[in-house]
Copies of this chain bind each other. A is one copy, B any other.
Amino acid sequence: MSDTITRLLDAAETGIRLRGYHAVSFRDLAEELGIKSSSVHYYFRQKEDLGLAVVERYTERVFAALTAETANTETPIDYLTAFVSVYRHALKGSDSICLCGMLGAESAGLPEKLAAAVAAFFQENIDRIAANLPRTMPAKARREKATHILATLQGAMTVATSLKSHKVFDNAVRDLLAGAEV
């Protein structure tokens, strides 16, 4: 992948995670890279194409990190702790919320394909968590707990960013994991 494409995806991802899809413009991205906005259209014909590429790359990166981080966990609580640490790292490394947390909030105003990609990201998160909850739990209870965990992570990032304190995220997650030790 060319350097310019990578830098474009980086700038777009940062902008979307901080301010939202509609607050990111081709002109701003171009200016940040030192090129012209028409050159951005050379790589991404429409804004939707850029958005989709950002979500695709983000999805792959997050799931790769989740797979790696949870690889050697043995108990469900170890798995959850590792899972959560990937999100904690994402928040602290970027000082912004999850890309899909932002796009999920905006999804009614997004191109359909983009909204669908975000929904798929959420669903895959829920499925992965549910698959690693104790086998002794009924399937319905696992689905509920998995949804609860994803919702808490996403909401904790939003509230922590608004209150400008990563501790808010840690506080929410500490109680989440304390309650999950079933």
Are A172's CB and B159's CB within 8 A?
Answer: no
A85 an interface residue at 8 Å Cβ cutoff?
A: no
Q: A161 to B109, alpha carbons, bound, how many Å?
A: 12
- Return the contact of A175 from the options B18, B106, B148 (Cβ within 8 A): B148
Q: A172 to B149, alpha carbons, bound, how many Å?
A: 8
Are A175's CB and B145's CB within 8 A?
Answer: yes
A157 to chain B, nearest CB (A): 8
The closest CB in chain B to the CB of A141 belongs to: B175
14 new A-B contacts at CB < 8 Å, known A97-B105, A105-B161, A155-B155: A22-B22, A23-B109, A100-B162, A107-B162, A141-B175, A143-B171, A145-B175, A147-B175, A148-B173, A151-B151, A151-B172, A152-B172, A179-B179, A179-B180
6 residue pairs, one from A and one from B, having the closest CB atoms: A155-B155, A19-B109, A151-B155, A154-B155, A104-B162, A151-B156
Residues of A whose CB lies within 8 Å of any CB of B are 18-23, 96-97, 100-102, 104-109, 115, 118-119, 122-123, 141, 143-145, 147-148, 150-156, 158-159, 161-164, 168, 171-176, 178-180
